[in-house]
A and B are shown apart, each in its own frame.
Chain A
């Protein structure tokens, strides 16, 4: 009779309580870093935000109290990630189309999918080393060494696997009936892909690609010896072939400076970077949750 009631003192119940509280502690520890990090960046970085920050050049480190702004780095990040997107998106979407629509699960597509996963695991600094050897040290781009263009190429290597993967997986989710219908009314393969399957997978592909771009915008390792850094305004098209600053490299360089003013700029740049990356991430999550809800109805 007694055994029908819950007995607190039973060793299995004590053990259960113990492990349950252990996993609660794990979960609490796991969310602490993000909370600390985000609040610290919001407070410390947010207090540095001024209108001049977006318009001025950074002053060279020194005892100078005024650090200037981060305009060149901000524009540089936009340019470098745009270059990377212009390379990685066409190549990645094209490759994903081949994997999802044309390949029939043969050895070639298995090899490419394997390659995509391996490339995704290549350390980001290796991408920088590769572009350094291929482009920077050989001066193959019209005799220029470190350049924004080289930095964009290095970033595109990191973006490529994620773009291919999202395209491949997005297209695989498109129901085959749509393809049969399109081919059945006499459309050719490329019309089917461009007019039917790609548009219906557009939203999931776009979400993945945007997340990939946000990820690339924060990458530093591939840029530190391909795009290097620059203190000066970006004035024209020709500047693509010279050293180019970026928010990520600015944070790296200025965090290691012994001066408060430069450290402040690093915090401000982190604020902008983290805020934009997190808002893109959260927005895509909300969007995904929203589409799931509408689909259920």
Chain B
């Protein structure tokens, strides 16, 4: 009887422990909202810093390519064009390469051990810092591809894309190094989605007599399309924001040229090059360019997430 009483007396927690519980929960809440605060902070800070340039040049900033700190004339067209061209063209190369690799890893052409090794090789490629890729691009890739570029210019020089004499660093090399960086992203996401396609679909296709590649093209790939698209969009966002390797190999020239064999510029390489030494209205213009870059990558990223949510439950 005595024992029971003391038990019931203590059935409530001490006030201190209750308070600790509440404090712990609220601390976790505050810490988790840091993400939102930082994200909003980034958007607001970059927007307000670019305000001066925005009010002076307006949308003209996006379509003129004059960048002259002496005359205080700024337009980011060359950089915006370079960002879009390098990221889209690199994706154009990466998509077939990455999806092809993912198909190779998910089909049973070779024993599983080899496929796993190849898969982890591709994923390890993603761990290489981009500045190291840039170093490699300068000293290995550029000399290696030089004769190829000269050849390209001699044969296809009449096409505007290859119309300049190759002289060293250029946009084409930036596209190639971007392919190396995007390949792991596209491959691993495509592989994961291909693995998620139910076995039933494949067996049904085989059952009615479809060949292996007929099955892949008509059944497996369409079923995995949304996931692959989301991976491609994530890669696109990454390509547009990629800084170091591109900055080191693109040649950094603000002179506009249609040619891929001439030095170019991207928004992020412009930021990397000029931010440290800029002052006055140049800083504001750089913030404006940063704002454009951020909006581009935000739109692409949000669209990718929407796509994942919308289509992920199909099978």
B interface footprint on A2-32 (CB within 8 Å = 1, 0 otherwise): 0000000000110110011011111101110
CB atoms of B42 and A126 under 8 A apart: yes
A166 close to chain B: CB less than 8 A: no
A75 at interface by CB-CB < 8 Å: no
Residues of B within 8 Å of A15, CB to CB, are 211, 213
Rounded to whole Å, the gap between the CB of A275 and the closest CB of chain B is: 11
- Say if the beta carbon of A205 comes within 8 Å of chain B: no
Q: Are B38 and A119 interface neighbours, CB within 8 A?
A: yes
Tell me if A134 and B41 are in contact (CB < 8 A): yes
The interface stretch among B53-61, B65-73, B135-143, B151-159 is: B135-143
Most buried by A among B42, B237, B238: B42
Interchain nearest-CB distance for A80 vs B (Å): 14
Interface of B is mostly: helix
Whole-angstrom distance from the CB of B304 to the nearest CB of chain A?
A: 8
A30 touches B97 (CB 8 A): yes
Which residue of B129, B212, B237 contacts A16 across the interface (Cβ within 8 Å)?
B212
The answer to whether A255 touches B243, judged by C-beta atoms less than 8 angstroms apart, is no
Minimum C-beta distance from B265 to chain A (A):
14
Does B166 sit within 8 A of A, measured CB to CB?
no
A181 in the interface (beta carbon within 8 A):
no
Q: Does B297 contact A (CB under 8 A)?
A: yes
Give chain B residues whose Cβ lies under 8 Å from the Cβ of A114: 305
Contact of B214 with A by CB under 8 A: yes
Interface residues of A, count at CB 8 A: 91
Closest-CB distance, A88 to chain B (whole angstroms): 10
CB-based contact B100/A95 at 8 Å: no
A178 at the interface (CB under 8 A from B): no
Say if the beta carbon of B163 comes within 8 Å of chain A: no
Contact mask for chain B residues 211-229; partner A; CB cutoff 8 A; 1 contact, 0 none? 1111010000000000000
Query: When each residue 113-152 of chain B gets 1 if its CB lies under 8 Å from chain A and 0 otherwise, what string results?
Result: 0000010111011011111111110111000000000000
Among A119, A123, A285, the residue within 8 A (CB) of B293 is A123
| Closest chain A residue, CB of each to CB of B106 | A23
A112 in complex: contacting residue of B36, B49, B135, CB < 8 Å: B36
Q: A118-B298, A123-B242 are in contact. Are A160 and B35 (CB under 8 A)?
A: yes
Partner of B13 from the list A188, A224, A252 (CB cut-off 8 Å) is A188
CB contacts (< 8 Å) of A215 on chain B: these are: 127
Tell me, in angstroms, the Cα distance from A16 to B217 when the chains sit together: 11
The complex places the Cα of A73 from the Cα of B31 at a distance, in Å, of 32
Are B290's CB and A129's CB within 8 A? yes
Nearest chain A residue, comparing its CB with the CB of B213: A19
Is the beta-carbon distance between A27 and B118 smaller than 8 angstroms? Answer: yes
Other-chain contact of B127, A119, A137, A277 (Cβ < 8 Å) = A277
B 1-42 to A, binary, CB cutoff 8 A, 1 in contact else 0: 000000000000100011011001101111111111011011
A95, A126, A127, A274: which has the most chain B beta carbons within 10 Å? Answer: A126
Question: Which stretch (A46-54, A59-67, A232-240, A265-273) binds chain B?
Answer: A265-273
- Does B248 interact with chain A (Cβ within 8 Å)? yes
Q: Which residue of B lies closest to A34 (CB)?
A: B125
| Residues A224 and B130 in contact in the complex (CB < 8 Å), given A27-B104, A97-B28 | no
How far is A215 from B128 in the complex, measured between Cα atoms in Å?
8
User: A160 and B38: CB pair below 8 A?
Assistant: yes
A263 within 8 A of B: yes
- Alpha-carbon separation in the docked complex, A221 to B29 (Å): 30
CB distance from B218 to the nearest CB of A (A): 12
B46 at the interface (CB under 8 A from A): yes
Q: Does A117 contact B (CB under 8 A)?
A: yes
A132 touches B275 (CB 8 A): yes
Q: For residue B243, which residues in chain A have a CB less than 8 angstroms away from its CB? A: 123-125, 220-221
In the complex formed, the residue of B with least CB distance to A216 is: B129
Given A15-B213, A125-B241, A134-B41, also A221-B293 (CB < 8 A): no
Contact indicator B234/A121 (Cβ below 8 Å): yes
Q: Which residues from chain A contact B248 at a C-beta distance below 8 Å?
A: 252, 255-256
Taking a contact as CB atoms closer than 8 A, the residue among A26, A115, A188 that contacts B36 in the complex is A115
* Bound Cα distance A214, B128 (Å): 10
Nearest-CB residue, chain A, relative to B248: A255
Considering only residues 272-292 of chain A, those with a C-beta below 8 Å from chain B are 273-274, 277-278, 281-282, 285
Residues of A within 8 Å of B134, CB to CB, are 251-252, 255
Among A20, A40, A97, A115, point to the contact of B39 (Cβ < 8 A): A115
Q: Would you call A150 an interface residue if the criterion is a C-beta within 8 Å of the partner chain's C-beta atoms?
A: no
CB-based nearest B residue for A267: B135
Residue in contact with A164 in the complex, picked from B35, B46, B98, B131, CB distance below 8 Å: B35
Which residues of B have CB within 8 Å of A133?
45-46, 49, 287
B240 an interface residue at 8 Å Cβ cutoff? yes
Determine the residue in chain A with the shortest Cβ distance to B24.
A190
Contact check, B136 vs A31: say whether CB atoms are below 8 A apart.
Answer: no
Q: Is the CB of A27 within 8 A of B240?
A: no
* Contact status of A26 and B97, CB under 8 A, knowing A15-B213, A94-B32, A189-B24: yes
In whole angstroms, how far apart are the Cα atoms of A117 and B303 in the complex? Answer: 12
In the assembled complex, B315 has its CB within 8 A of some CB on chain A: no
**Per-position contact with A for B252-283: 1 when CB-CB < 8 Å, else 0?**
00000000000000001001100110000001
Interface centre among B13, B118, B136, B234 (most CB of A within 10 A): B136
List 11 A–B pairs whose Cβ atoms lie within 8 Å, in order of A's numbering: A26-B103, A30-B118, A30-B122, A33-B180, A35-B121, A37-B136, A111-B36, A122-B39, A123-B293, A255-B139, A277-B129
8 closest residue pairs by CB, A with B: A123-B241, A218-B129, A26-B100, A94-B31, A95-B32, A121-B301, A98-B28, A190-B24
